[in-house]
Structure 1
Amino acid sequence: MDSLYFYDPSHALPAAFAALVGLSLILHIYQNFRYRFWRVTFWMFYGALIFTTGWILRCVSSYYPSNKSLYVAQTVFIYAGPPIFSAAEYNVLGRLMYYMPMHAPFNPGRTIIFFIYLGASVESLTAAGASLYATAHGVDDSQTYITGGTLISVSLALQAVIECVFISMVALMHYSGVKAKTLPRNVRTLCIMLYGTSTFVLLRCIARAIESFSTATTTHCNGVCRLVLFHEWYLYVFEAAPMVIYTFWLNLIHPGRLLPADKNRYLDPDGVTQRIGPLWIDSRSKWEKIMDPLDFGGAMTGTSKREAFWLQPERWVPAPGGSFAQGTATNVKTASTSEEMNGGSKLIDLIPWRRDVTAV
């Protein structure tokens, strides 16, 4: 039988990585339920599910190296996992911006949408490219092979750019908090985690881009092309290992331990008190919001019309249940926290201005 691989694929390694990512998936499901953080880190669960499926399929494919359907499926699922992981980071950044609105450069909700749409574009290009690339692999269809490789290259380059923008926004908030001396330990820990996980995504993008450009656009496979195609370790060192570390790091420093599940809870400029706020108040006209949803113009010229509601603490009630900044709050549901949360909700419902504020 003719193998679709340029080497004898390992049976043990894909099984080991499937087990590792699967374990991380189980831990993440547990923590999402424990901290009630599904809305923020759902994509971590979904990405781990896709990635685990990819390594299981690769394990099966290693026993049937000439089976094209298995080869295509494992390629698509393994390629598809990391861009979905990145979507979890985007949601965490959005929740961090809601938590520290005084340091958020843009509307948190629209920033999340901006990143998610870009991430969806990356995922679409990745899936289409991986499918074409794997389908043409090992057969005399150079045009499909090149097209698939080009789509993968474009998706990797786009994802790398998005990650750089993402890191820049985290760094901007981090710097702003340090400068204002209002950066609590939970936010600093979260920023360090986001720097690290994004670095692993970038490392994976660079390695996969080298693979794509060296194999899909050359007529003679020498040098880097030969290193990538004829050595299985390249895949495990630069694809599997970084993403496994990524998933476990996000489990170790789960955002649900550091940020409130309720995005209405924000941190006072004092860096300690938590209050129940209006999310975001943008006083621009409807057409201004449509033409410039993130308010780039206001950010660039310093004429942003967002309302600095955090400078009016008397308007917003203190959040019950302690403070994440001091390590005295938790998202874990207990009898005492449920009573505090319900009491806080009833108090908020009685305040007239709370119903009049328009959050955008």
Structure 2
Amino acid sequence: MSSTSASDGLYPYHPSHVLPAVFSALIGISFLWHIYQNFRYKFWSVTFWMSWGGAVFTIGWITRCISSYNTSNVDLYIVQTVFIYAGPPIYSASAYNILGRLLYYLPMHAPLHPGRVTIAFVYMGAAVEALTAAGASTMASNTTDLAAYQNGGTLISAALVLQAVVEGLVVSVICMVHFRTKRVAHSTPPNVQRLCITLYGTSFLVILRCICRAVESFTIYSSILSCAEGNCSPILTHEWYLYSFEAAPMVLFTYWLNIMHPGICLPRQNKRYLDLDCKTERLGPGWVDRRSKWQTFVDPFDLSGMLSGQPNHESFWLLPEKWPVADGSFAQGTASNVSGLTNKSVNNGQTMPSSELV
């Protein structure tokens, strides 16, 4: 990696051959680890996006490694730019799914329907992904057209700002759930505590990445003409910015979610919830909305119910005697998503078979 401003082909510096290979290996290992853990915990419905994001991000860095030896190849440059930019928003979609599953697990503390919270964040993430892909492809394919290149940078800037806003909303929901759980039980269950800390940390890494990438993008926007004259900002002519503020945070993100995999902390079933004693887990009916389909379509987040102080969902957790005790407890460390490791628990003298929990 060069520290000079000398350019090489499509790059405003001499790209490193070693670092893309190193990060390709690191991200690829994490990607394979995610696949293994998804099979182990059968958690594909929640953390599928980690595997998809890992595939996209790994392809981006492998292509960058190849591109570093073919610095004038436009197609390779476009692919590595688009895929490296596209990976992080896909990773974030997995965090949104994890948050949704946490809300299903703690329905009494969910501010809105858990499924709709997830869908809202995923749709916002999709908007980020669309803007990112459009901006990255425009920039990469118009390195000699300053106006088009600047337009691509504008799209990237908008995507980064939007993603930072979404992550801020995610953190606010996590804080709300974390606070409410601690207020009720006076201490947060270990599995919830662990998951909240993980989501705080991964969101911080994404926000850090967004801020640094936004600074880079706005630098491109403000100094595009001077850069064309050979006076580029150091942010654009030093490759280490990319590895320090794009690659490194996302590598930490993926390994953090591997080490603290949500399949260790949460059940696969979205009808399984934590009782108000923060120890017992029960098999409830899931989130039940009393409104008609047209009402839920018009007001998907039940804003009318929240404003009136009378939400339209069933507070099934207030009648724990109606719902059977689940097999083991993730809150107490006696349950597992791994086949054969789930402990049996007794409810009114009857054992809940593991097959009923799947």
The one of 157, 175, 178 equivalent to 2:179 is: 175
1:291 Cα deviation after fit: 1.9
Question: Which runs of structure 2 are paired with 1:1-360 in the superposition (5 Å)?
Answer: 3-137=9-143, 139=144, 141-181=145-185, 183-218=188-223, 219-221=225-227, 226-320=233-327, 322-334=328-340, 340-342=353-355
Say if 1:21 and 1:51, in contact at 8 Å, map to a contact too: yes
Task: Tell me the SS of whatever aligns to 1:63.
Answer: coil
Q: Whole-Å Cα distance in 2 between the matches of residues 61 and 21 of structure 1?
A: 18
Post-superposition offset of 1:344: 5.7
Matched with 1:351 is: none
Structure 1 residue identity aligned to 2:134:
A
CA contact (8 A) 1:204 1:239 kept: yes
How far apart are the structure 2 equivalents of 1:2 and 1:100? Answer: 54
Cα RMSD of the aligned pairs, angstroms, is 1.9
Quote the Cα distance in structure 1 between the aligned partners of 2:190 and 2:30.
25
Question: How far apart, in 2, do the equivalents of 1:196 and 1:225 lie?
Answer: 33
Secondary structure of 2:282's match? strand
Q: Percent identity?
A: 55
Query: What is the TM-score when the length of structure 1 is the normalising length?
Result: 0.91
Separation in 2 of the partners of 1:52 and 1:163? 23
Q: Give CA deviations for 1:272-328 in whole Å, capped at 9, x if unaligned.
A: 1111111111223433311221123333442212211001112111112x1000000
One-letter amino acid matched to 2:264: R
Measured against aligned partners, the alpha-carbon deviations of 1:235-259 in whole angstroms (never above 9, x if no partner) come to 0000000000000000010000000
Contact 1:214 1:225 in 2 (8 A): no
Decide whether the 8 Å contact of 2:335 with 2:341 is kept in 1. no
Q: Summarize deviations over 1:251-274 as a string: whole Å, max 9, x none.
A: 010000000011111110110111
- Give the aligned partner of residue 3 of structure 2: none
Distance 1:113 1:287 in 2: 18
Tell me which moved more, 294-303 or 107-116.
294-303
Cα deviation code 1:63-102 (max 9, x no counterpart): 0111111111100000000000000000000100000101
CA distance in 1, matches of 2:188, 2:288: 23
- Which amino acid in structure 2 is aligned with residue 31 of structure 1? Q
- Using the TM superposition, name which of 285-294 and 336-345 deviates more: 336-345
The residue identity in structure 1 corresponding to 2:189 is P
Q: Contact conserved, 2:269 with 2:357, CA < 8 A, in 1?
A: no
SS of the residue 1:180 aligns to: helix
Distance 1:344 1:127 in 2: 40
Answer yes or no: is the 8 Å Cα contact 1:79–1:126 preserved in 2.
yes
Conserved 8 A contact 2:17-2:68:
yes
Q: Distance in 2 between matches of 1:159 and 1:119?
A: 7
Distance 2:287 2:97 in 1: 16
5+ unaligned residues in a row in structure 2: which ranges?
Answer: 1-6, 345-351
CA contact (8 A) 2:136 2:152 kept: yes
- SS where residue 324 of structure 2 aligns? coil
Contact 2:49-2:91 at 8 Å conserved across structures: yes
Distance across 2 between alignment mates of 1:185 and 1:240: 31
Could you list the runs of 5+ residues in structure 1 that have no partner in the other structure?
346-360
Per the alignment, do residues 107 and 299 of structure 1 end up closer, same or farther by CA in structure 2, a change over 3 Å counting?
Answer: same
Count of paired positions = 341
SS at match of 2:273: strand
3-state SS of the aligned residue for 1:136? coil
Greater alpha carbon shift after TM alignment, 65-74 vs 142-151 = 142-151
Asked if 1 retains the 8 angstrom alpha-carbon contact of 2:334 and 2:343, the reply is no
Task: Kindly provide the amino acid, as one letter, of the partner of residue 99 in structure 1.
Answer: Y
1: CA distance, partners of 2:112 / 2:357: 28
Aligned AA (2:204): T
Alignment match, 1:358: none
Contact conserved, 2:164 with 2:207, CA < 8 A, in 1? yes
Amino acid at match of 1:278: P
1:181-232, CA deviations, whole angstroms, 9 ceiling, x for partnerless residues? 163110011000000000000000001111111112432249x951211100
* Matched letter for residue 242 of structure 1: P
Query: For the Cα contact (< 8 Å) 2:8–2:15, is it kept in 1?
Result: no
Work out the CA distance in 2 between the residues paired with 1:95 and 1:66: 46
